Amino acid sequence: MIAVMMKEINEFLYSIIAYLVIGVFLIGVSIVLWVLPETSLLEYGYASMEPLFSIGPYLFMFLIPAITMKSFAEEKRSGTIELLYTLPLTSRAIVLGKFLAASLLVFFSLLPTLVYYYSIYQLGNPPGNLDTSGIVGAYFGLFFLGSVFASIGIFSSSITENQIVSFVVGALLCFISYEGFTTLARIDLWVSWAYYIEYFGIMFHYNAMSKGVIDLLNLTYFVGFIIIMLLATHYSLEARK
């Protein structure tokens, strides 16, 4: 597992995509947080990192499938999947290794934004006047959301050997699982079921975490979602045999 993870991380470092993705994420977040007048903290008047956590999922929705689109699709296209699956590595080690590498990249793209936390902390009046526990929860939420997106991206990469298809399917699945259920719940037809439908969506659990409450139920949801996606990846790759 470690061998595969290290290989994937090295591949990220060799390819421009990882730098591009982290770069776009940070620039996107910075523009929203500091430049755009509607969301800029300097205009907003409150010491809060709210814009980061509301824009984050939408950036991740495109950026994470861009990281993971290569994952299995490229191995299939170039035939290296045969190398990987004839080495004494279990399917679990391969899938998990790839997933961990991708979520590690998510982690490293979030890390620099801690600078904003410090800036806002200092800018507050008086300094430190901000909801730290809420922010910690929201960071956890955003990291788990990114990891779920990574597992979705890896799954969509395993069903095709075309990176573009993998990206489009991945982004679509991310969008549906984040916002789709919440939107669906608003339809009047099944208004009495709305809560349960919304409960299936990532947004429901992400928002709960953003309030600073790290509930076991939400954590179970995220971890369960990841396990299901990775299992689906495993079976979609087994089917090739």
Chain contacts with another protein (rule: CB under 8 A): 2-4, 6-7, 10-11, 14-15, 78-80, 82-83, 85-90, 240-241
- Of 92 and 186, the one with the shorter C-beta distance to another protein is 92
Report long-range pairs for 132-136 (Cβ below 8 Å, ≥24 apart): 133/212, 134/210, 134/211, 134/212, 135/49, 135/212, 136/212
| Closer residue to another protein in complex, CB, 78/132 | 78
* Contact assessment for residue 70 and residue 157, using Cβ atoms and an 8 Å cutoff: yes
Query: Residue 78 CB, nearest distance to another protein (Å)?
Result: 6
| Rounded-to-integer distance, Cα 16 and Cα 6, Å | 17
What is the smallest separation between the CB atom of 154 and another protein, expressed in angstroms? Answer: 18
- Stretch (H or E) spanning 18: helix 16-30
CB of 199 to another protein, least distance (A): 39
In this structure, what token pair is assigned to residue 199? Answer: 């409960």
User: Would you say 33 or 96 has its CB closer to another protein?
Assistant: 96
> Residue type for 84, please?
L
First to last CA, the chain: 21
Q: Which is nearer to another protein, 113 or 233 (CB)?
A: 233
Query: Nearest distance from residue 212's CB to another protein, in Å?
Result: 41
Q: Whose Cβ is closer to another protein: residue 6's or residue 42's?
A: 6
> In whole angstroms, how close is the CB of 238 to another protein at the nearest point?
9
Query: Which SS3 state, helix, strand or coil, does residue 126 take?
Result: coil
Extract the tokens encoding 50: 């709210």
Q: For residue 73, which of 172, 160, 173, 168 has the smallest C-alpha distance? A: 160
User: Cα–Cα distance between 11 and 232 in angstroms, integer?
Assistant: 24
Nearer to another protein, 118 or 241 (CB): 241
Q: How far is the CB of 67 from another protein (least distance, A)?
A: 15
- For residue 3, CA distances in Å to 93, 97, 230 come to 9, 8, 18
